[in-house]
């Protein structure tokens, strides 16, 4: 069966996209499957070699197990690593076929119908709006020389950039999930901002056409050349369903001299039902390298989805005077679990990092902030400020703060503050007396709690994220 | 407007209100005075709909029993409580809180919600009337406010929400004489033929500035005497202990 499928693929010489429907690599993780993926994406040999190297390395790696949320053993031979986009006949035909609960949430978030259809892979006759918007965007980006395309396209069209930077921040040998991703990633985004260019718009995966099926092993690479700036948005506030349970994405950012990258994420993957069944495992590796002097990387994340979230968007501050920032809101409800935080690795002189983490746990959920601040002996005169606040709702959830601090430099300074609080009955009563229902009251109080982080989000994201924060906690009061 | 019949309230098997009766007609101002622990705050909590009490009896608001209504539903009907200890809500801008509150109530009543410009116009006007520092409206709700500022903020909210029945739970405690006058002016400016007030206080002082129609003395969960404003003066002279 496997041979037959691969043969079929080999025979096909006249372009790919239409005929690939219904084709997927057989289950399992092996060399054949990796070859299949590489061929399906028409990759050059160096790319296949790179994947193979990762696969070889993977054989000697074990899944990390130091995290707090435990998960059932994953059978890596029982996963499809490549499947082409579903054919129209397999997709839901109309919005009426979807879970009414999901539709209710869309309504509350104010997601337009077309967007709802796109999110659920419903075949839409004419996506004129998004296509034309995207085309205009592309033209504008071309004018200033910004490259924004899928990573598959970049591998073919900009091999010199991909070769130079892919794996330069998250090495092939990094850890189990990152290495797995390197072996089998299917698609993702690629961004290159040329020297001196301030990207004229927020870049968003939303505007990269045909990218809705990036699959469970997404790979993103963003390079900001000297004196450039880019703000990148990932994800969306609407809940996304996916039949793949394991998501292990890799995101690499590189900022050269005086460049700045702002990366914002709203993650709202399916968290499972009220009992925690069927949700997504979101095991992501995100790392930014401040390679040049005076460079800056800023991560902002709003994590509300997934059954298990396990991620630490990090900054390696290599260039002197470089700056790393991490702003995070993580919300867990029902049986969700999150172990998230950041790593700030100070290597250059006068490097600065700032960590603002807001964790909210409700229901039976469990939340851990885990963060590392590591100041090397050469990172003279460096500074870190960390603030971790946890908010508990009810008495069946958990919140934990696990800071790791290493300072090998007497000139440097690390400050850590942490608080844990609860929404009090009195606060709720006060808001209700002013006419707010309990859910509106919780939304308001929690948004206040998260304000410092919400302010970091680009405007259009911030408004949606505020609503999302309230909706994520629905059913957690009373 | 408000009719309380045979209200009993227990908390953890301890009786707090005991066969409590009170009627407030539209436009009337009632003052309830009583010593610590007489049940004053329990009364305001129960009227606002706070949970945690064992209650029986009847509370009619505009001839409808509100016993089963949630706190916010009572607020929508026009019941306002100025809290004895106004709560702090970190990170929430005072203006935004006020606007959210006003619009939640307007929405529940089927009225048009105010947009930002209409709201700011209203809040500016009211803040000026109450000599409330506008700059504070851009701060986090009650965070870092002095005791007096918190109480003035309650009165500002009251005047913006324009309730039918306002309950002031020891709003005068902790106020200096200037703040007391401002609070009293705020209440007096809202006094209309359809708006009623229930003023809960320890002291007669506030009643120099807000002339009540009736004064009730609350002891051990029961009204032991009712009368006109002169009752407050008598109480002030004699003290609670010698009052019978």
Report residue A102 as tokens: 């999901």
The answer to the question of residue B59 being in a domain is yes
pLDDT band at B13 (very low <50, low <70, confident <90, very high): confident
The answer to the question of residue A176 being in a domain is yes
Q: Does A198 touch chain B (CB under 8 A)?
A: no
The answer to the question of residue B92 being in a domain is yes
The residue-averaged pLDDT of A409-437 equals 93
Residue B48 C-alpha, separation from nearest chain A C-alpha, in angstroms? 7
B interface residues, A as partner, C-beta within 8 Å: 48-50, 52, 70-72, 75-76, 80-81, 83, 86-87, 89-92, 97, 100-102, 104-105, 108, 140-141, 157, 161
In sequence order, the 6+-apart residues with CB closer than 8 A to the CB of B222 are B17, B18, B19, B20
pLDDT band at A351 (very low <50, low <70, confident <90, very high): very high
The SS3 assignment for A380 reads coil
Residue range(s) defining the domain that contains residue B115: 2-238
In sequence order, the 6+-apart residues with CB closer than 8 A to the CB of B234 are B243
Residue range(s) defining the domain that contains residue A240: 104-209+216-421
The residue-averaged pLDDT of B225-241 equals 88
Which of A63-77, B98-112, B221-235 is modeled with the greatest confidence? B98-112
**In A, which residues are within 8 Å of B154 by CB distance?**
none
The answer to the question of residue A416 being in a domain is yes
* B90/A440 CB distance under 8 A: no
**Residue A92 predicted with pLDDT over 70:** no
Choose among B166, B164, B130, B168: nearest CA to B149: B130
Using a 10 angstrom Cβ sphere, with 0-12 exposed, 13-18 middle and 19 or more buried, the burial of residue A66 is exposed
Of the listed ranges A16-20, A364-368, A449-453, B188-192, the one predicted with least confidence: A16-20
Number of CB atoms found within 10 A of residue A74's CB: 14
Give the E-state strand segments of A256-397 in sequence order: 260-267, 281-290, 296-303, 308-311, 314-317, 323-332, 337-346, 352-361, 366-375, 383-392
A364 versus A23: the higher-pLDDT residue is A364
**Residue A20 predicted with pLDDT over 80:** no
The answer to the question of residue A32 being in a domain is no
Q: Report the percentage of chain A scoring pLDDT > 70.
A: 78
pLDDT of the residue at A125: 40
Question: A280 - beta bridge partners?
Answer: none
Q: Does A25 touch chain B (CB under 8 A)?
A: no
**In B, which residues are within 8 Å of A437 by CB distance?**
70, 72, 104
Of A426, A435, A451, the CB nearest to B75: A435
**Residue B39 predicted with pLDDT over 70:** yes
pLDDT of the residue at A130: 42
Q: Does A101 touch chain B (CB under 8 A)?
A: no
The answer to the question of residue B243 being in a domain is no
pLDDT tens readout for residues A193-237: 999 999 988 887 655 433 344 457 889 999 999 999 999 988 766
Q: Does A444 touch chain B (CB under 8 A)?
A: yes
The answer to the question of residue A337 being in a domain is yes
Using a 10 angstrom Cβ sphere, with 0-12 exposed, 13-18 middle and 19 or more buried, the burial of residue A445 is buried
Longest Cα–Cα distance of chain B, Å, equals: 55
pLDDT band at A242 (very low <50, low <70, confident <90, very high): low
Q: Does A478 touch chain B (CB under 8 A)?
A: no
The answer to the question of residue B244 being in a domain is no
- The 3-state secondary structure of B190-236 reads HCCCCCEEEEEECCCHHHHCCCCCEEEEEECCEEEEEECCHHHHHHH
The answer to the question of residue A183 being in a domain is yes
Nearest-Cα residue of chain B relative to residue A426: B87
**Residue A72 predicted with pLDDT over 50:** yes
Of the listed ranges A46-50, A400-404, A456-460, the one predicted with least confidence: A456-460
pTM of the model: 0.82
Question: A414 - beta bridge partners?
Answer: A384
* B75/A433 CB distance under 8 A: yes
Contact present, A176 and A206 (Cβ < 8 Å): no
Q: What is the DSSP string of A161-208?
A: HHHHHTTSSS-TTS-HHHHHHHHH--B-EEEEE-TT-B-SS-EEGGGS
**In B, which residues are within 8 Å of A434 by CB distance?**
75, 97, 101, 104-105, 157, 161
pLDDT of the residue at A67: 83
How many domains does chain A divide into? 1
A2 versus B123: the higher-pLDDT residue is B123
- Average pLDDT over chain A reads 83
* A433/B83 CB distance under 8 A: yes
In this structure, the strands spanning B2-11 and B29-33 are: unpaired
- Which residue is it, tokens 């091999």? A159
Of A430, A435, A448, the CB nearest to B76: A435
* A434/B48 CB distance under 8 A: no
Of the listed ranges A140-154, A233-247, B189-203, B228-242, the one predicted with least confidence: A233-247
Q: Can you tell me the distance from the alpha carbon of A436 to that of B159, in angstroms, rounded to the nearest whole number? A: 18
- Which residue is it, tokens 């006419």? A435
B224: CATH: 3.40.50.300
Nearest-Cα residue of chain A relative to residue B48: A433
A474 versus A365: the higher-pLDDT residue is A365
Query: Is the confidence metric ipTM above 0.90 for this complex?
Result: yes
CA angle centred on A219, ends A182 and A52, rounded to 5°: 20
The answer to the question of residue A354 being in a domain is yes
The residue-averaged pLDDT of A77-97 equals 64
Residue A436 C-alpha, separation from nearest chain B C-alpha, in angstroms? 6
How many domains does chain B divide into? 1
pLDDT band at B81 (very low <50, low <70, confident <90, very high): very high
**Residue B23 predicted with pLDDT over 50:** yes
* B92/A440 CB distance under 8 A: no
* A447/B89 CB distance under 8 A: no
Q: Which helix (H) or strand (E) holds B23?
A: strand B14-24
């Amino acid at each position: 069966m496997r041979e037959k499928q691969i043969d079929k693929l080999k025979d096909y010489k006249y372009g790919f996209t239409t005929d690939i429907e219904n084709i997927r690599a057989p289950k399992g993780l092996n060399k054949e499957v990796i070859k299949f993926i590489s061929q399906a994406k028409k990759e050059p040999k160096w790319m296949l070699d790179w994947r193979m190297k990762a696969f070889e390395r993977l054989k000697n790696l074990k899944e990390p197990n130091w995290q707090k949320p435990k998960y059932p053993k994953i059978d890596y031979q029982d996963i499809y690593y490549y499947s082409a986009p579903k054919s129209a006949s397999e997709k839901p035909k109309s919005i009426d076929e979807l879970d009414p609960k999901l539709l209710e949430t869309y309504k509350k978030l104010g997601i337009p119908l077309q967007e709802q259809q796109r999110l659920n892979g419903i075949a839409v006759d004419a996506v004129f709006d998004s296509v034309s918007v995207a085309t205009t965007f592309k033209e504008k980006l071309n004018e200033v020389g910004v490259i924004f395309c899928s990573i598959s396209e970049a591998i073919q069209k900009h091999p010199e950039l991909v070769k130079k930077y892919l794996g330069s921040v998250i090495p092939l040998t990094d850890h189990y999930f990152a290495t797995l991703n390197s072996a089998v990633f299917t698609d993702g985004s690629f961004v290159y901002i040329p020297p001196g260019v301030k990207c004229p718009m927020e870049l968003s995966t939303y505007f990269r056409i045909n990218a809705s099926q990036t699959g469970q092993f997404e790979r993103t690479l963003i390079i900001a050349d000297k004196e450039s700036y880019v703000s990148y948005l990932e994800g969306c506030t609407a809940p996304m369903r996916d039949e793949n349970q394991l998501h292990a994405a890799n995101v690499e950012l590189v900022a050269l001299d005086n460049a700045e990258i702002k990366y914002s994420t709203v993650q709202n993957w399916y968290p499972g039902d009220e009992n925690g069944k069927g949700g997504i495992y979101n095991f992501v590796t995100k790392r930014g390298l401040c390679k040049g002097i005076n460079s800056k990387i800023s991560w902002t994340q709003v994590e509300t989805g997934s059954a298990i979230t396990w991620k630490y968007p990090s900054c390696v501050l290599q260039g002197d005077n470089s700056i790393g920032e991490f702003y995070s809101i993580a919300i867990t409800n029902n049986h969700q679990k999150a172990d998230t935080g950041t790593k700030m690795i100070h290597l250059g002189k006068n490097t600065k990092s700032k960590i603002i983490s807001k964790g909210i746990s409700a229901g039976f959920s469990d939340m851990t902030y885990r963060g590392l601040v590591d100041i090397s002996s050469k990172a003279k005169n460096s500074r870190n400020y960390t603030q971790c606040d946890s908010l508990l709702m009810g008495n069946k959830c958990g919140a934990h703060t696990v800071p790791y601090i290493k300072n090998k430099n007497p000139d440097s300074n690390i400050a850590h503050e942490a608080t844990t609080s609860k929404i009090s009955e009195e606060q709720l009563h006060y808001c209700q007396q002013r006419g707010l229902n309990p859910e509106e009251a919780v939304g308001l109080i929690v948004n206040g709690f998260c304000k410092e982080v919400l302010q970091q989000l680009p405007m259009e994201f911030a408004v949606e994220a505020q609503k999302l924060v309230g909706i994520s906690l629905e059913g957690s009061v009373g | 407007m408000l009719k309380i019949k045979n209200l009993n309230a227990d908390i953890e098997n301890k009786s707090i209100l005991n066969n409590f009766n009170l009627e407030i007609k539209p436009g009337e101002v009632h003052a309830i005075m009583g010593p610590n622990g007489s049940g004053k705050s329990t009364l305001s909590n129960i009227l606002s709909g706070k949970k945690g009490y064992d209650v029986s009896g009847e509370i009619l608001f505009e001839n409808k029993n509100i016993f089963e209504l949630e706190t916010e539903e009572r607020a929508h009907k026009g019941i306002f409580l100025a809290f004895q200890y106004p709560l702090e809500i970190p990170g929430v801008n005072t203006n935004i809180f006020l606007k959210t509150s006003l619009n939640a109530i307007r929405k529940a009543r089927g009225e048009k919600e105010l947009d930002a410009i209409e709201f700011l116009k209203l809040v500016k006007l009211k803040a000026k009337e109450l000599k409330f520092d506008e700059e504070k409206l851009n701060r986090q709700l009650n965070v870092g406010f002095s005791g007096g500022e918190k109480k003035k903020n309650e009165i500002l909210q009251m005047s913006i929400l324009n309730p039918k029945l306002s309950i002031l739970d020891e709003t005068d405690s902790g106020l200096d004489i200037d703040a007391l006058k401002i609070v009293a002016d705020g209440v007096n400016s809202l006094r209309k033929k359809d708006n009623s007030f229930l003023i809960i206080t320890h002291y007669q002082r506030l009643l120099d500035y807000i002339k009540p129609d009736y004064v009730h003395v609350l002891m051990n969960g029961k009204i032991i005497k009712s009368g006109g404003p002169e009752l407050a003066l008598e109480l002030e002279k004699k003290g609670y202990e010698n009052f019978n």
